Amino acid sequence: MTSPQDFERLSAYLDHQLSPKEKAGLEARLAHDAELETALDEMRQTVRALRSLPVVKPPRNFTLSPQQAGVRAPSRPVFGALRLATAVAAAGLVLAFVGNLVTSPAPGFRPLAAAPVPMVVSRSSAPATALPPSLPVAAAAPTEVPAQAAAVAQNAGPTTEDMTHQGGAGGPLATEAAGKGAPAPALGAAPGGGTPQAGLTFASPAQPSASGAISAPVETSQPQALMALAAPTTTTVPAVPVPRTAITEPVTAPEAYPALGSSTAESEALTISAGQAPASSAAPAVEVPSALPPEALSPLSGLPWRALEIGLAALTLILGAAAWLTRRR
């Protein structure tokens, strides 16, 4: 019986893969071993049979269409360019974000500094809706109160000055008031009589729920702020946050925007609150916006940054999606 080793030798022999020595040894055996020779013959016939197989014609050409070739040729440079553009846009977005933070601290800090304000809003808005009578007051207040705030800053009631210097919630206000030395004269009309009332009326509804909001200033700004909390009679101090509340609150009202063509949210807010109030209060409201620009400044200066950020974010998304699509295809 022919062993597997013999088959391997015979197979290699047919392919001329044996060394001369191996070949000589095998041929010597073949001369005497009939069985081995038969095995060789049959293997040779087998190989010949396989070689007799016809070459079959391919059923079609296998040349590649551009679609079959896929991404490679056309989309490679496009993909690279899109990827680069996406990276640049993303880097620009980061830069814009950082630039926004660095160059305009006001909008950046605003959420913190303004923290008390929304709370005040909730306070004042609650009574505003619950108590219709308070509405006219609130409407009247904004007109007078900013004026008062400006006036106070100018007239330098010691309390307000300290407040502003001591920071806390007073911070933003102080900067506004200080920065707005100019508006004050314009508003200077009614610092006197109306203010205490306005301050009082606002402060009193504010107080019950105010604790949290006002406590913020209290922590940072010291005794005077406490006084403001304790006794609304320190007219100017509570009055200052209040106008804001009156101002910021209306911003949420949708009707405000169509009504006002003005660019700054604050001035819109003002006129809105005025709009909600009796017509009589509307007139003063018109003057107030000019007094308020300090706050209006921050959204104004933040606007180009925000636009830039949004634009770059959109650009990054679009470019990234385009790059992804070209790669897939």
Partner 1 sequence: MVSFSPMDELALVREAQRGDLDAFNRLVMEHQTQVYNLAYRIIGEGDSAADAAQEAFISAYRHLGTYRGGSFKAWLLRIVTNACYDELRRRKRRPVASLEALSVTPEGPEAEGDGLLASREESPVERVERKELAQAIQSCLNDLPDEMRVVAVMADVQNLDYAEISAATGLALGTVKSRLSRARARLRQCLQGVRELLPAIYRLEEENKV
Contact positions vs partner 1 (CB under 8 A): 4, 7-8, 10-12, 15, 17, 41-64, 66, 68-70, 72-73, 76
Tokens of 50: 């396989």
- CA–CA separation, 306 vs 299, rounded Å? 9
- Tell me whether residue 74 or residue 105 sits nearer to partner 1 (CB atom): 74
Q: How far is CA 241 from CA 173, 196, 246, 325, in A?
A: 8, 14, 9, 52
Amino acid identity of 14?
L
- Tell me whether residue 63 or residue 261 sits nearer to partner 1 (CB atom): 63
CB 220 within 8 A of CB 259: no
- Tell me whether residue 39 or residue 184 sits nearer to partner 1 (CB atom): 39
How far is Cα of residue 40 from the mean position of the Cα atoms in its chain? Answer: 81
- Tell me whether residue 63 or residue 102 sits nearer to partner 1 (CB atom): 63
CB of 263 to partner 1, least distance (A): 53
CB of 65 to partner 1, least distance (A): 9
Within 10 Å of residue 271's Cβ, how many Cβ atoms?
22
CB of 110 to partner 1, least distance (A): 53
Instruction: State the alpha helices, DSSP H only, in 131-193.
Output: 134-155, 158-166, 170-179, 183-187
CB of 84 to partner 1, least distance (A): 19
Instruction: State the alpha helices, DSSP H only, in 16-71.
Output: 20-32, 34-51, 66-69
Question: DSSP state, 222?
Answer: -
CB of 32 to partner 1, least distance (A): 21
How far is Cα of residue 157 from the mean position of the Cα atoms in its chain? Answer: 41
CB 198 within 8 A of CB 189: no
- Tell me whether residue 58 or residue 261 sits nearer to partner 1 (CB atom): 58
- CA–CA separation, 58 vs 176, rounded Å? 84
- Tell me whether residue 44 or residue 306 sits nearer to partner 1 (CB atom): 44
- Tell me whether residue 68 or residue 132 sits nearer to partner 1 (CB atom): 68
CB of 24 to partner 1, least distance (A): 19
Burial of 313 (0-12, 13-18, 19+ CB in 10 A): middle
CB of 21 to partner 1, least distance (A): 17
Say which residues have a Cβ less than 8 Å from residue 163's Cβ, sequence separation at least 6. Answer: 170, 173, 174, 217, 221, 224, 225, 228, 237, 240
- Tell me whether residue 46 or residue 233 sits nearer to partner 1 (CB atom): 46
CB of 43 to partner 1, least distance (A): 5
